[in-house]
Amino acid sequence: MVAAHGRHVVIETPDGAHVRCHLRGKKTDAVVGDSVQWARSGDEGVVEAIEPRRNLLFRQDEWRSKSFAANLDAVLVLVAVEPSFSDSQLARTLIAAASAGIPAWIGLNKIDLPGAATARERLKPYAHLGLEVVELALKTQPELSRQALQPRLADRTTLVLGPSGVGKSTLVNLLVPDAGAQVGEISQALNSGKHTTTVTRCYRLQNGSQTGSGALIDSPGFQAFGIHHVEPADLARLMPDIAAHQGECRFYNCTHRQEPGCGVRQAAERADIAAVRYAQYCELYDELSVRRF
């Protein structure tokens, strides 16, 4: 499946043709990246079954869950010097990716702007997690940015996530020379040219670029990244810098907040864990511990 807009989706057949399909009944949870079985009905189709997924990235607030895409090889979290990024959103995105078992990396865009040094400094705790942080200036240094991105996007399916204004469209236009044509074709198939910003779309990278057979998935922006599907007790395991000190706690079921002999808290006091990351852990632990109905 290559595009989704509500219950209207577009599937790609093995020979590359695009067919508009409806989601019917219980098959409403098909997402971009899914392999589906479908049946033709006139010039359109109906999705009948979803093949088992390797993974699924989704967010979940208190009431509902919203899927981004399935069967991903990587998540590129794109942030920018401006608008300045939220540590909380970044942490949540990374935790959701870790929880889905999908490797993530970070792109820092607009390093041509004066706040670059500050942004770089703020990203240090994430680089310390072993995450790759790739610096970009998609608009002012497109050639260098392309060279930095291409090997990391080749031959895999990458979901690009980031708040609006960070440069997601600039990135797609840089790497997918025929993005406009792909958007046009999918909008025509969806018959919803006017809704373009709320469509999740998969772009093929192969057409004449050097990125092999990779794909980029661009998904609409969102307000808040809920991770209510994560159990509080699993949180530390999904934050590698916290997890690294879990073995040093006196109690095996330590929650790393008030317990005596907590190796995580001691590591935070020594600044082996960045203060901002320990604060995030505590904040998320409390949020996820609120009783759910």
Ligand X SMILES: Nc1nc2c(ncn2[C@@H]2O[C@H](COP(=O)(O)OP(=O)(O)O)[C@@H](O)[C@H]2O)c(=O)[nH]1
Strand partners, 134: 107
User: Which amino acid would we find at residue 10?
Assistant: V
Question: Quick check: 97 binds Zn ion (CB under 5 A)?
Answer: no
Which partner, ligand X, Mg ion, Zn ion, none, binds residue 166 by CB below 5 to 8 Å per kind?
ligand X
110 binds, among Mg ion, Zn ion, ligand X, none (CB under 5 to 8 A by kind): ligand X
CB of 169 to Mg ion, least distance (A): 3
Contact assessment for residue 190 and residue 18, using Cβ atoms and an 8 Å cutoff = no
55 touches Mg ion by CB under 5 A: no
CB of 291 to Zn ion, least distance (A): 23
Q: What pairing do the DSSP bridges indicate for beta strands 65-70 and 56-60?
A: antiparallel
218 and 161 Cβ atoms separated by less than 8 Å: no
- Among residue numbers 118 through 147, which ones bind ligand X (CB under 6 A)? 137-140
262 binds, among Zn ion, ligand X, Mg ion, none (CB under 5 to 8 A by kind): Zn ion
Note whether 94 binds ligand X by CB under 6 A: no
Long-range contacts of 148-153 (CB under 8 A, 24+ apart): 149/107, 149/174, 149/175, 150/175, 150/209, 150/210, 150/211, 152/74, 152/76, 152/105, 153/76, 153/205, 153/211, 153/214, 153/216
Binding of ligand X at residue 269 (CB under 6 A)? no
**What are the angstrom distances between the C-alpha of 114 and each of 78, 81, 120, 239?**
18, 8, 11, 30
Q: Report the residue number, 256 or 277, with the smaller CB distance to Zn ion.
A: 256
Q: Which residues of 220-250 are buried (b: 16+ CB within 10 A; e: fewer)?
A: eeeeebbbbebeeeebbebbbbbebbbeebe
How many Å apart are CA 101 and CA 95, to the nearest integer? 10
Quote the least distance from Cβ 91 to ligand X, whole Å.
20
What, of Mg ion, ligand X, Zn ion, none, does residue 98 touch, CB below 5 to 8 Å by kind? none
Does 277 bind Zn ion (CB under 5 A)? Our answer is no
* Residue (170 or 219) nearer to ligand X, CB: 170
Of positions 262, 267, 284, 288, contacts Zn ion by CB under 5 A = 262
Question: CB under 5 to 8 A by kind: which of Zn ion, Mg ion, ligand X, none does 138 bind?
Answer: ligand X
Binding mask 208-247 for Zn ion (x = CB under 5 A): ----------------------------------------
Binding residues vs ligand X (CB under 6 A):
109-110, 112-113, 137-140, 162, 164-170
Binding residues vs Mg ion (CB under 5 A):
168-169
